[in-house]
Chains A and B, each alone.
Chain A
Amino acid sequence: MTALLEVSGVSKTFDGFKAIDNLSFSIGEPELRAVIGPNGAGKTTFMDLVTGKTRPDSGRILWGERNLDLTRLSESRIARAGIGRKFQKPTVFEAQSVWENLRLALAGTRGPLTVLARRRAREDAIHTLAERVGLEDHLAHRAGTLSHGQKQWLEIGMLLAADPRLLLVDEPAAGMTSAERERTTTMLIEAARSHAVVVVEHDMDFVRRLDCRVTVLHEGRVLAEGSIDHVTSDPQVIDVYLGRDGDA
């Protein structure tokens, strides 16, 4: 399995604070990977770096077979290259319907003039997606009227719609009920059969249920990597993360 995404020696400093410190990370395709770490470990900054929202001070982020350097591409270009992102707080277009949200995300042309000219919506694809994320009865509703959990699913649906090769998912289970969590777990595991999926999560139980390789971040560096049992028995991890965080 060759690496789809390879982050090597990346550092990023915000006003003297080292958010990411000489981080190296790689993920293959398909693969499900969980990234955990205490607050301020650099999880979200890591996603920002990969998606082009933030530029690293040093290091390289290489993508795909042709080793594209993502640090030189714009956000929209990176998204078109095949990296999709789901934000921590659900960010869907609340003033637009579920149907419109999915249509926006659906893979296809992205240029202003082709978007204007090609107007036929792919009804079937949109319905299939809505079914996959359990929103088939809500297609006509405005996204703003959905519950928190449904918004999270809509966003996952939008992620799947774009059919990226790598899905970056930031705290998908935050604020969900246990039934919603279970369904989310299933969605992610299913997606990871054909895609590379990186899940950033706080919740240890949720990560345990994903049953995948885990990377522990701390102060912008990789502290440990391996199965969930391996990392939770690592004394360093217990010290900085589990020991301090009573609920896990």
Chain B
Amino acid sequence: MTGTPLIRRPDVITVLAMLTLMTIGATFLAEAGLISTSFVKTLGKTLCLCLAAVAMDLVWGYTGILSLGHMAFFGIGGYAIGMWLMRARTEDIVAAQLAQRPLPPTPGEVDQAAAVQIFGVVGSDEFPWMWLFADILWVQLAAIVLVPGLLALVFGWLAFRSRVTGVYLSILTQAGTLALSLWLFQNDSGLRGNNGLSGLQNIPGLTHIPQSTLSLWFLWASAAALAVTYLLAAWTVSGRFGSVVRGIRDDEARVRFLGYDVEGFKLVVFTVTAMITGVAGALYYPQAGIVNPAEIAPIASIYLAVWVAIGGRGRLWGAILGAAAVSLLSSWFTGGGAPDIDLGFYTIRWTDWWLVLLGLGFVAITLFAPDGLAGLIERALGRLRPNRQGDFGPDQGALRREETRSEPAQ
């Protein structure tokens, strides 16, 4: 009764097969010149958003913590890798320029000139303390997971220990996100204020490789990260750990009386998902090319929750489906892909109306398909589980036994 081995589960097979097919397909099409580099980047970025959505599903769909702040960790991951990308590349450029001079520049001079290059825009000419190790790649790589992890650990410890739950926790996470983004907007935050970090698509040391190739590398990396995370997440939620966190979602007091330290479980899930989201951001922003404080705005985290809700909470593949569908549709509608509709007296421009459409779609899903797109698919496949929440009262259960006979245990 321990269930199907992970690798033979239909959802795992489907997700891995789709990822492989998409990556190989995109690679061939791109090599053949049939799809543009920017479309490859869109695909790669979408995979990163799917990765964040898997993390969101773990924390919300499985554990029941509606965090409306996870995209802050996404942004932090982007900033962490962006600092190295920007500093290393600027130093390369500056060093090349200074090399023209009769005297070769000292490392200090290169540093100074790079600082002016990067921070001139916010009226500074030296690296803030935060950039102390920004020229060391492994430090920044570690920061991608450590900074989101540490922030989530401290925030979660304070919030969960005080038993803040439900909507109050959601509001706290929104407040935290807002505070972070407002702080980043300031010029003296040390991260270039509202200019953010830019030129991230240029990878220092790999400048001789064209963007068309780099974009494929990032696509592969994003697909690999998503595949690995999916396997890990599916493994995590399939065992007793998954049973405990779903118990916490449905009745956390009961889990406590069984002797489980609910706060500890929440803290582990919150922290680990923050780290996953950080990795997703670090893969996303080199493909986007720029990260700025607007990316950390509270609305971004709400979008993340909307994707998971549309895709179907509590199903990892549903989160991927929701994030992919909504973000691809969004870039189609807002990128001018959708033709305007001329009503004679008024022209519907999708760049203006896409959000209205998304809002209506969200309301429709909430009303008519509470299990999201994944629920619709399961219904089509005849696999939707009957909803048997609630007490039937004495002596009625026997009548319902037939309905449950074929139901698989998780």
Instruction: Check A147–B243 contact: CB distance below 8 A.
Output: no
Chain B proximity mask over A59-71: 1 for CB below 8 Å, otherwise 0: 0000000000000
Which chain A residues (57-111) contact chain B, with CB distance < 8 Å?
Answer: 74-76, 79-80, 84-85, 87, 89-91, 93-97, 99-100, 103-105, 110-111
CB distance from B250 to the nearest CB of A (A): 6
Most chain B beta carbons < 10 A, residue from A89, A95, A123 = A95
Contact between B259 and A100 (Cβ–Cβ < 8 Å)?
no
B261 CB within 8 Å of chain A: yes
**Chain B 30-44: CB-based contact to A (< 8 A → 1; otherwise 0):** 000000000000000
Contacts A96-B246, A112-B264, A177-B394 known; A145 to B254 CB distance under 8 Å?
no
> Which of A85, A95, A119, A148 is within 8 Å of B240, CB to CB?
A119
Interface string of B235-269 (1 = CB under 8 A from A): 01001110110110011011111111110110110
Which of B214-222, B295-303, B362-370, B382-390 makes up part of the contact surface?
Answer: B382-390
Option from A53, A105, A111, A142 in Cβ contact (under 8 Å) with B385: A142
Interface residues of A in 152-202 (CB under 8 A from B): 158, 162, 175-177, 180
Q: Are B247 and A93 touching (Cβ within 8 A)? A: yes
Which of B261, B265, B403 has most A Cβ within 10 Å?
A: B261
| Any A CB within 8 A of the CB of B342 | no
Q: Would B401 and A145 count as touching, CB distance under 8 A?
A: yes
Q: In the bound complex, what is the Cα–Cα distance between A115 and B244 (angstroms)?
A: 9
> How far apart sit A158 and B410, CA to CA, in the bound complex (Å)?
18
A121:B240 contact, CB within 8 angstroms: yes
Q: Which residues of A contact B386 (CB under 8 A)?
A: 145
Q: Which residue of A lies closest to B254 (CB)?
A: A91
CB of A113 to closest CB in B, whole Å: 7
Chain A residue nearest to B265 (CB atoms) is: A112
Q: Is B205 interfacial (CB 8 A cutoff)?
A: no
Q: How many A-B residue pairs have CB under 8 A?
A: 140
B26: shortest Cβ distance to chain A, in Å? 35
User: Does chain B have a CB within 8 A of A146?
Assistant: yes
Q: In the complex, what's the smallest C-beta–C-beta distance from B64 to chain A, in angstroms?
A: 11
Contact of A145 (CB < 8 Å), options: B247, B393, B395, B400: B400
Let me know if A53 and B259 touch, CB within 8 A: no
- A248 close to chain B: CB less than 8 A: no
> Binary interface profile of B, 271-309, with partner A (CB < 8 Å = 1, else 0)?
000000000000000000000000000000000000000
* A149 vs B389: C-alpha distance when bound (angstroms): 16
Q: How far is the CA of A173 from the CA of B389 in the complex (A)?
A: 21
Report Cα–Cα, A85/B389, bound state, in Å.
22
**A51 within 8 A of partner (CB):** yes
Bound CA span A51–B400, Å: 35
Residues of A within 8 A of B404 (CB): 141-142, 145
User: Which chain A residues lie closer than 8 Å to B267 at the CB level?
Assistant: 112
Q: Which residues of B contact A40 (CB under 8 A)?
A: none
State A117–B300 Cα separation when bound (angstroms): 34
Residue B10 at the A interface, CB < 8 A?
no
When the two chains form their complex, are residues B257 and A51 in contact, meaning their CB atoms are under 8 A apart? yes
Shortest C-beta distance, B277 to chain A (Å), equals 19
Neighbouring A residues of B407 by C-beta, 8 Å: 140-142, 145
Task: Provide the bound-state CA to CA distance between A100 and B251, in Å.
Answer: 15
A-chain residues with CB within 8 Å of residue B258 when the two chains form the complex: 76, 79, 104-105, 158, 162
Partner pick for B394 among A75, A110, A147, CB 8 A cutoff: A147
A94: which of B250, B264, B396 is its contact (CB, 8 Å)? B250
Beyond A51-B257, A93-B251, A140-B407, whether A111 also contacts B395 by CB under 8 A is no
B130–chain A nearest beta-carbon distance, Å: 31
Query: How many residues on B have C-beta within 8 angstroms of the other chain's C-beta atoms?
Result: 47
- Residue from B246, B262, B392, B394 whose CB has the most chain A CB atoms within 10 Å: B394
Assembled-state Cα–Cα distance A238/B409 (Å) = 51
Partner of B1, one of A74, A75, A139, A162: A139
Instruction: Given A110-B261, A145-B397, check contact A91 B389 (CB 8 Å).
Output: no
- Nearest-Cβ distance from residue A5 to partner chain B, whole angstroms: 16
Q: Please tell me if the beta carbons of B241 and A148 are within 8 angstroms of each other in the complex.
A: no
Nearest CB on A from B405, distance (A): 8
* Interchain CA distance A93-B390 in the complex, whole Å: 10
> A43 at interface (Cβ–Cβ under 8 A)?
no
Q: Does B408 lie at the interface of the complex (its beta carbon under 8 Å from any beta carbon of A)?
A: yes
CA distance A158 to B397 in the complex (A): 19
Task: Let me know if A148 and B1 touch, CB within 8 A.
Answer: no
In the assembled complex, A116 has its CB within 8 A of some CB on chain B: yes
B399 CB to closest chain A CB (Å) equals 9
Q: For B401, what are the chain A residues with a Cβ–Cβ distance below 8 Å?
A: 141, 145
Please tell me if B356 contacts chain A, counting CB pairs below 8 Å.
Answer: no
Give CA–CA (A142, B400) in the complex, Å: 11
Q: Which residues on B are within 8 Å of A, measured CB to CB? A: 1-2, 236, 239-241, 243-244, 246-247, 250-251, 253-262, 264-265, 267-268, 385-386, 388-398, 400-401, 403-404, 407-410
8 closest cross-chain pairs (CB), A and B: A147-B397, A79-B259, A144-B388, A75-B256, A97-B409, A80-B259, A145-B404, A112-B268
> What are 20 of the A-B contact pairs (CB < 8 Å)?
A74-B261, A75-B256, A76-B258, A76-B259, A79-B256, A80-B259, A91-B254, A94-B388, A95-B389, A96-B243, A103-B240, A116-B236, A118-B240, A121-B240, A123-B1, A140-B407, A141-B404, A148-B396, A175-B393, A176-B394
